[in-house]
């Protein structure tokens, strides 16, 4: 709309209430049907809403500057939807209850999309025509007709209230965004008279859930699977009865204070408090001669039941973790909590254990977009690498609250689980040392039940997703391999290749005629404190060099000394795998070079 239109609207509002507001009702913001995925289902040729909607729901899904390049900005909106049963043309009129209301609309074909795709989908019809000056649009009516050739009318346009009709085929699904730029307290009627296509009736309504409440002994709130007519709810509660005992004294639909309203929530009041225990609410035909009716007059089929328990107040608690895992876990609660009290950043939850890990996201698992949930999905900042026992506790989150139930009670207990070290991978490289750049063979051996592998940081690697591959090592490098188990727990191992570039690549004797140990323990106990060569006989060591995993030399000698004591420049070296080159010369001048690795253990 143009800015001058806003000024005129303000003047009109200041003049006094609209004449047609007698049966209108202004709803609180954030109604479910104000978002595309909760659109009101249409099935007949006429739909009337007595409600005035404020705002655009949980999120703005349509705007002039958005990805869908709208012809107006979503302001005070409601979404409608229908599915085509038989082919034909679609025309409609949006008729305001107050003729000075300024209605806009957009139509989306979502046949090949999900409902939330409207964020990135352009409408097939869009009309942002303004009603100003008042009187240019008879009765403020806008819509689709058989004479217009326009498919897009930008905001602020004068004198083009209609767009071209739509030719529809069976199975097509459409969403209609209806937006009241005027923000009055009046509703509208959408009339499809002249449409030759027919719409799918949709499923009959059913009792969906009992909304969690603090005290179910005096009343309960029922949610239906779809909107039902307020006029079909018998006020004496006779559409329902209780078993095994108890009497319903009244039934009231949410937002049902105006004629022709609709709702998906009904409060049932009991004549006297119910005793503790299990109860069932049953649907039946009421004194008004019908069960609950949806907007297409489809009747709820009796019998239909919902079970609930009347119990004393208990703190919400974590009962178990569903499939405890390393990267995420689902928390199962003993009863429902309020979704709004779960901090999205996961700060309500803290993990303690042998390995560092934290919760970075928490999503309540709610059925049918309910504001309550009895399970929460937790996502960790990384997969747990260190096996052992871990504890999950609930703390005050970044939102200033703990996780609360409908009664305001908080989850305070902790729960523990074990992360197993079952599932392993062993990486190896042959050869492990090179005197100059060249090819090495890498291999990964994994336990049963593990998936992968993936070779990480795979520089100059042939294939990084197979067990046995080849790499070209032009410098000292550590090759990392990773596998996952069924719970997203991963294991890693490394294989190091040392490229010296300053040694002579002499033939390597696979089985030396003397002893080179594979490990030593320089702990000062007088046993195996040195890494050295034994049983040299008449041979002598002409070169003895040891390197750490980064290729740094930590020891060098060329004589028959005690060998390496596990230090470098007087500093004890860490427990790790080290690599050696040992050249042994005979008195006849022949020499052999041996390469391998040794493990330092303390």
For residues 78 and 55, state if they share a domain: yes
For residues 298 and 344, state if they share a domain: no
Cβ neighbours of residue 22 under 8 Å, at least 6 residues apart? none
Average pLDDT of 119-131?
90
Task: Say how far apart CA 76 and CA 59 lie, in whole Å.
Answer: 12
Between 270 and 556, name the one with better pLDDT.
270
What is the structure's pLDDT at 4?
36
Please say which residue of 499, 528, 545 terminates a domain: 499
For the domain that residue 41 is a member of, what is the CATH number?
A: 2.60.120.380
What is the structure's pLDDT at 470?
86
What is the structure's pLDDT at 458?
64
Average pLDDT of 526-552?
80
Average pLDDT of 372-389?
87
What is the structure's pLDDT at 456?
78
For residues 53 and 164, state if they share a domain: yes
- pLDDT tens-place string over residues 420-459: 655 567 788 888 888 788 888 888 887 666 777 888 766 6
For the domain that residue 397 is a member of, what is the CATH number?
A: 2.60.40.1220
Q: What secondary structure letter does DSSP report for 15?
A: H
**Which backbone phi and psi does 91 adopt, to 5 degrees?**
-130, 155
- pLDDT tens-place string over residues 42-85: 988 999 999 999 998 888 888 877 676 778 888 999 999 999 99
For the domain that residue 490 is a member of, what is the CATH number?
A: 2.60.40
Indicate the number of domains in the chain: 5
What is the structure's pLDDT at 39?
94
Cβ neighbours of residue 214 under 8 Å, at least 6 residues apart? 313, 406, 407
Average pLDDT of 1-25?
41
For residues 415 and 461, state if they share a domain: no
In a domain, 36, yes or no: yes
Cα radius of gyration rounded to whole Å, the chain: 37
What is the structure's pLDDT at 18?
36
Answer yes or no: is pLDDT of 2 > 90: no
Question: What residue numbers bound the domain in which 445 lies?
Answer: 425-499
Please say which residue of 175, 199, 223 terminates a domain: 199
Please say which residue of 171, 199, 227 terminates a domain: 199
For residues 372 and 253, state if they share a domain: no
pTM: 0.57
- pLDDT tens-place string over residues 461-478: 777 788 888 888 888 888
What is the structure's pLDDT at 509?
44
Answer yes or no: is pLDDT of 460 > 70: yes
What is the structure's pLDDT at 510?
44
Average pLDDT of 103-113?
93
For the chain, percent of residues with pLDDT exceeding 90? 44
In a domain, 534, yes or no: yes
Answer yes or no: is pLDDT of 314 > 70: yes
In a domain, 507, yes or no: no
What is the structure's pLDDT at 197?
96
Q: In which band, very low, low, confident or very high, does the pLDDT at 12 lie, cut at 50, 70 and 90?
A: very low
For residues 10 and 125, state if they share a domain: yes
Task: Say how far apart CA 137 and CA 100 lie, in whole Å.
Answer: 9
- pLDDT tens-place string over residues 513-527: 677 888 888 988 888
- pLDDT tens-place string over residues 181-238: 886 768 999 999 999 999 998 899 999 999 878 888 999 999 999 999 999 999 999 9
Answer yes or no: is pLDDT of 485 > 90: no
Cβ neighbours of residue 552 under 8 Å, at least 6 residues apart? none
What is the structure's pLDDT at 508?
44
Between 497 and 176, name the one with better pLDDT.
176
In a domain, 508, yes or no: no
Q: Are 551 and 476 in contact (CB under 8 A)?
A: yes
Q: Are 581 and 574 in contact (CB under 8 A)?
A: no
């Amino acid at each position: 709309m143009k800015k001058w239109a806003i000024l005129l609207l303000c003047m009109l509002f200041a003049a006094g209430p609209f004449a047609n507001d007698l049966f209108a009702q202004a709803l609180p913001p954030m109604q479910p049907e104000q978002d595309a995925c909760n659109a009101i289902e249409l099935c007949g040729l006429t739909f009337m809403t007595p409600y005035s909607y404020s705002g655009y729901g949980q999120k703005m899904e349509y705007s002039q500057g958005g990805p869908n390049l709208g012809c107006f900005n979503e302001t005070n909106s409601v979404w409608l939807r229908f599915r085509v049963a038989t082919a034909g043309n679609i025309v409609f009129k949006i008729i305001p209850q107050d003729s000075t209301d300024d209605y806009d609309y957009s139509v989306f074909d979502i046949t090949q999309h999900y409902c939330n795709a409207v964020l990135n989908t352009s409408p097939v019809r869009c009309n942002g025509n303004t009603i100003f000056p008042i009187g240019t649009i008879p009765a403020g009516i806008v819509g689709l007709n058989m004479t217009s050739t326009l498919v897009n009318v930008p905001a602020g346009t004068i004198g083009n209230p209609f767009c071209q009709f739509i030719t529809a085929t069976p199975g097509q699904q459409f969403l209609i965004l209806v937006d009241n730029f005027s923000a009055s307290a009046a509703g509208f009627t959408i009339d499809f008279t002249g449409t030759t296509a027919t719409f799918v009736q949709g499923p009959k309504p059913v009792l969906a859930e009992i909304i969690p409440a603090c005290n179910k002994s005096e009343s309960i709130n029922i949610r239906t699977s779809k909107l039902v007519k307020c006029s079909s709810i018998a006020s004496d509660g006779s559409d329902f009865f209780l078993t095994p005992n108890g009497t319903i004294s009244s039934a009231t639909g949410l937002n049902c204070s105006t004629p022709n309203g609709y709702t998906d929530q009904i409060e049932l009041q009991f004549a006297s408090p119910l005793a503790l225990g299990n109860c069932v609410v049953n649907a039946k035909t009421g004194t008004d001669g019908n069960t609950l009716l949806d907007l297409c007059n489809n009747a709820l089929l009796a019998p239909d039941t919902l079970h609930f328990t009347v119990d004393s107040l208990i703190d919400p608690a974590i009962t178990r973790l569903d499939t405890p895992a390393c990267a995420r876990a689902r928390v199962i609660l003993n009863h429902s909590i309020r979704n709004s009290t779960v901090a999205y950043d996961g700060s309500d939850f803290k993990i303690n254990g042998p390995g560092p890990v934290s919760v970075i996201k928490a999503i309540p698992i709610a059925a049918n977009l309910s504001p309550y949930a009895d399970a929460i999905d937790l996502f960790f900042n990384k997969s747990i690498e260190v096996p052992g026992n871990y504890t999950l506790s609930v703390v005050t989150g970044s939102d200033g609250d703990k996780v609360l139930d409908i009664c305001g009670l908080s989850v305070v207990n902790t729960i523990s689980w074990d992360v197993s070290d079952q599932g392993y991978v062993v990486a190896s490289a042959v050869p492990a040392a090179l005197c100059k750049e060249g090819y090495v063979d890498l291999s990964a051996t994994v336990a049963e039940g593990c998936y992968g592998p993936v070779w990480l940081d795979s520089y100059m690697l042939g294939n990084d997703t197979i067990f046995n591959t080849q790499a070209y090592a032009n410098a000292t490098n550590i090759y990392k391999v990773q596998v996952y188990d069924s719970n997203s727990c991963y294991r890693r191992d490394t294989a190091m290749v040392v490229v010296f570039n300053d040694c002579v690549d002499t033939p390597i004797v696979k089985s030396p005629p003397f002893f080179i140990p594979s490990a030593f323990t320089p702990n000062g106990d007088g046993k195996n404190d040195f890494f050295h060569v034994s049983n040299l006989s008449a041979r002598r060591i002409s070169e003895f060099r040891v390197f750490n995993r980064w290729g740094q030399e930590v020891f060098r000698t060329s004589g028959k000394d005690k060998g390496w004591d596990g230090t470098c420049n007087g500093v004890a070296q860490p427990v790790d795998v080290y690599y050696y080159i040992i050249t042994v010369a005979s008195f006849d001048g022949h020499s052999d070079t041996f390469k391998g690795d040794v493990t330092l253990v303390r």
